[in-house]
Amino acid sequence: TNFRQISLAQQARGYELSRKAKLFQRLKGMGQILMPLIFTSLDRIDQISQAMELRRFGTGKRRTWYMDQPLRTPDWIVLVGVAVIIVIGLFLFHVNGGRFFNPFRG
């Protein structure tokens, strides 16, 4: 529902997201929907976690079903993948000497 609302708001601002628009314009429009969608999702997560804390969710074994679960293989794969991406980014930052590519630098 949030995606639909944000999409309609972007269309009201003049961003064409339908099949009539070119592929690059649609991708650009979807990128502009993505950031507000992430922020509204994070805000909802914060509200829910605050409500759970106020209701003492997870404080006692009898009150809730919340339990800690050990990391499984897919979890470790994702963590290693993120670490590899960060290391590659830092390496490229070091090689390039900054965040932006400068074609005039030797």
Q: Read off the pLDDT of residues 67-102 as tens digits, 9 standing for 90 and up.
A: 567 889 999 999 999 999 999 888 888 887 777 766
Domain boundaries, the chain: 1-65, 69-106
How many angstroms separate the CA atoms of 31 and 51, rounded? 31
Is residue 17 within 8 A of residue 10, CB to CB? The reply is yes
Amino acid type, 69: Q
Question: Distance from first CA to last CA of the chain, Å, rounded?
Answer: 50
Strands (E), the chain: none
What pLDDT is attached to residue 10?
A: 74
What pLDDT is attached to residue 89?
A: 86
What pTM does this model have? 0.41
What pLDDT is attached to residue 72?
A: 92
At 29-47, the pLDDT tens digits run 777 778 888 888 899 899 9
What is the token pair recorded at 46?
Answer: 């914060």
Return the DSSP state at 71. -
